[in-house]
């Protein structure tokens, strides 16, 4: 172990001890020494700013937070950089220049290295507009509803990270690892924005800081904003599932604001002291206007959460590991459907499972909106559909063809036994899991 490493370890111990005892002068001096030893580490000016703010040294806190903002951005932690700049603005509202200087270049490089196919060319149509239409197969039998399958090159598939399929936050990697964050849902929302649009997003967002055990969102209230977690963790409770995931840094909640006239479908509570950026739907609309590639970021964010929540919480898929579920998620296709398309017909076999992303359908005449999962029981039991599902408007859906699911399941003998047992018990398996 090097002499410098020993010094850093000793100073960190001294700082933690001084902070616990409220010896703020000693804590400040220790942080300054740590900053000298690690000038590129943003945690030291960040924590120094927190202490200076606590002790009433506003000018000193502004200087520290400005430094932390720059260093977080240089490391690729754009959301943290924005949160630091917003904290600075609470102390000195005139320093808007700090927020406008946050540069997403480093974060973009990390994101594109790890997910080179994630972003589309800015000139092409969006995912939604280029998604293939659902059209009846030419050889559809009288006792089935089956759609024409397009070639693989025309299918837009989802690439969900294993992290989004983990329900236990304790299984996540260390919180500040940039490669982990680059795979999380909120990362492209910051990293892929041009700097001028990032400034609009940052300026229009609100910094939220809450203690543990506080409720942030409640089922049934209007869904008007998206929350991006910068620090801390929340636990999500979905009434239909009697539970839900824990979410940490780099994740998002409140994604139902991306659905038309959405309402909250889950309760969200602070698990560990939370710092988050609250971004209203109105701000998101301004940010992505006229830029299909950025609109795709929001669509993918929502699609990844819908599919991730469904695969991560439905009893159908508990037998699969997160890596297996990630491979299954790639088999979902983005498809469009015109008004009046029968996705399922009562008494006929269906050819897939659907997650409704945009538009409305009727299920035996009852309206169902975005976020609905359709066709679970029919796919599970291989029996005819128990209801007729018809598109009531133009719709965008995520479709998992039964052939692709069956081929996938065939590779896992334990899964066959698991699904057979579920089918025999005729459990009702629904996966509406948006917060």
Domain boundary residue among 51, 83, 103?
Answer: 103
Q: How far is CA 260 from CA 216, 223, 381, 409, in A?
A: 21, 9, 32, 34
3-class secondary-structure state, position 362? strand
Average pLDDT over residues 146-161: 70
Whether residue 41 is contained in a domain is answered as: yes
| pLDDT band at residue 48 under the 50/70/90 scheme | very high
pLDDT given at position 305: 72
- Which long-range contacts (C-beta less than 8 Å, at least 24 apart) are formed by 216-221? 216/253, 216/268, 216/269, 216/270, 216/274, 217/253, 217/254, 217/264, 217/266, 217/267, 217/268, 217/435, 218/264, 218/267, 219/263, 219/264, 219/265, 219/266, 219/267, 220/263, 220/264, 221/263, 221/264
| pLDDT band at residue 241 under the 50/70/90 scheme | low
Distance separating alpha carbons of residues 429 and 422, to the nearest angstrom: 9
Between residues 11 and 298, which one has the greater pLDDT? 11
Return the minimum-mean-pLDDT range out of 68-82, 239-253, 349-363. 239-253
Whether residue 156 is contained in a domain is answered as: no
- Asked if residue 170 and residue 82 are part of one domain, the reply reads no
pLDDT given at position 316: 73
Domain boundary residue among 235, 260, 291?
Answer: 291
Return the minimum-mean-pLDDT range out of 42-51, 195-204, 280-289, 412-421. 412-421
| pLDDT band at residue 427 under the 50/70/90 scheme | very low
**CATH number of the domain bearing residue 223:** 2.60.120.10
Whether residue 143 is contained in a domain is answered as: no
Chain position carrying tokens 């909120």: 186
Whether residue 274 is contained in a domain is answered as: yes
Q: How many CB atoms lie within 10 A of CB 363?
A: 16
Q: Structure tokens of 251? A: 């994740």
- Per the CB < 8 A criterion, the answer to whether 127 and 156 are in contact is yes
pLDDT given at position 91: 96
pLDDT given at position 422: 65
3-class secondary-structure state, position 223? coil
| Nearest Cα residue to 164 out of 72, 301, 293, 12 | 301
Whether residue 368 is contained in a domain is answered as: no
| pLDDT band at residue 11 under the 50/70/90 scheme | very high
- Per the CB < 8 A criterion, the answer to whether 245 and 171 are in contact is no
Return the minimum-mean-pLDDT range out of 4-13, 51-60, 254-263, 401-410. 254-263
Chain position carrying tokens 């998101």: 284
Whether residue 375 is contained in a domain is answered as: no
**CATH number of the domain bearing residue 52:** 1.25.40.10
Whether residue 405 is contained in a domain is answered as: no
Between residues 100 and 406, which one has the greater pLDDT? 100
Between residues 424 and 149, which one has the greater pLDDT? 149
Domain with 53 in it: 3-103
- Asked if residue 175 and residue 287 are part of one domain, the reply reads yes
pLDDT given at position 343: 94
Looking at the predicted structure, is the pLDDT value of residue 120 above 60? no
3-state helix, strand, coil in the chain (%, to 5): 45, 20, 35
| pLDDT band at residue 45 under the 50/70/90 scheme | very high
pLDDT given at position 261: 58
Return the minimum-mean-pLDDT range out of 58-72, 147-161, 217-231, 353-367. 147-161
Distance separating alpha carbons of residues 217 and 209, to the nearest angstrom: 14
Number of domains in the chain: 2
| pLDDT band at residue 118 under the 50/70/90 scheme | low
Whether residue 186 is contained in a domain is answered as: yes
Distance separating alpha carbons of residues 432 and 413, to the nearest angstrom: 27
Domain boundary residue among 291, 316, 331?
Answer: 291
pLDDT given at position 341: 94
pLDDT given at position 36: 93
- Asked if residue 276 and residue 177 are part of one domain, the reply reads yes
Chain position carrying tokens 């001084």: 18
Q: Chain-wide mean pLDDT for the chain?
A: 83
């Amino acid at each position: 172990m090097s002499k410098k490493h020993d010094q850093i370890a000793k100073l960190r111990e001294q700082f933690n001890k001084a902070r616990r005892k409220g010896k703020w002068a000693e804590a400040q001096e220790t942080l300054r020494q740590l900053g000298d030893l690690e000038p590129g580490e943003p945690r030291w000016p960040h924590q120094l700013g927190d202490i200076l703010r606590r002790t009433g040294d506003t000018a000193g806190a502004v200087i520290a937070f400005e430094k932390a903002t720059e260093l977080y951005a240089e490391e690729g932690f754009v959301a943290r950089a924005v949160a630091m700049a917003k904290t600075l603005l609470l102390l000195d509202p005139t320093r808007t220049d700090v927020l406008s200087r946050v540069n997403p270049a480093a974060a973009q490089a990390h994101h594109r290295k790890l997910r080179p196919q994630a972003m589309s060319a800015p000139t092409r149509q969006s995912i939604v507009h280029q998604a293939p239409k659902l059209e009846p197969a030419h050889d559809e039998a009288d006792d089935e509803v089956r759609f024409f399958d397009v070639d693989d090159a025309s299918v837009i598939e989802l690439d969900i990270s294993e992290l989004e399929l983990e329900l236990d936050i304790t299984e996540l990697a260390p919180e500040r690892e940039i490669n982990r964050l680059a795979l999380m849902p909120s990362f492209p929302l910051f990293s892929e924005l041009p700097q001028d649009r990032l400034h609009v997003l940052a300026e229009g967002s609100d910094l939220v800081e809450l203690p543990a055990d506080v409720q942030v969102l409640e089922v049934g209230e209007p869904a008007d904003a998206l929350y991006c977690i910068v620090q801390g963790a929340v636990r999500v409770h979905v009434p239909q599932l009697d539970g839900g995931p824990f979410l940490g840094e780099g994740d998002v909640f409140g994604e139902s604001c991306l659905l038309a006239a959405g309402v909250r479908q889950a309760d969200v509570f602070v698990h560990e002291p939370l710092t988050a950026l609250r971004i209203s739907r109105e701000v998101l609309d301004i940010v992505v206007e006229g830029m299909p590639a950025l609109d795709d970021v929001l669509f993918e964010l929502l699609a990844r959460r819908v599919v991730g929540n469904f695969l991560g919480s439905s009893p159908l898929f508990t037998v699969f590991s997160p890596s297996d579920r990630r491979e299954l998620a790639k088999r979902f296709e983005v498809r469009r459907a015109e008004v009046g398309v029968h996705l399922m017909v009562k008494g006929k076999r269906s050819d897939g499972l659907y997650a409704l992303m945009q538009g409305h359908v009727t299920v035996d005449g009852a309206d169902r909106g975005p976020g609905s999962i359709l066709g679970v029981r029919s796919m599970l039991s291989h029996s005819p559909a128990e209801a007729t599902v018809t598109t009531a408007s133009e719709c965008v859906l995520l479709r998992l063809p039964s052939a692709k699911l069956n081929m996938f399941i065939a590779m896992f003998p334990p899964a066959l036994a698991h699904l057979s047992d579920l089918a025999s018990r005729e459990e009702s398996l629904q996966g509406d899991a948006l917060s």
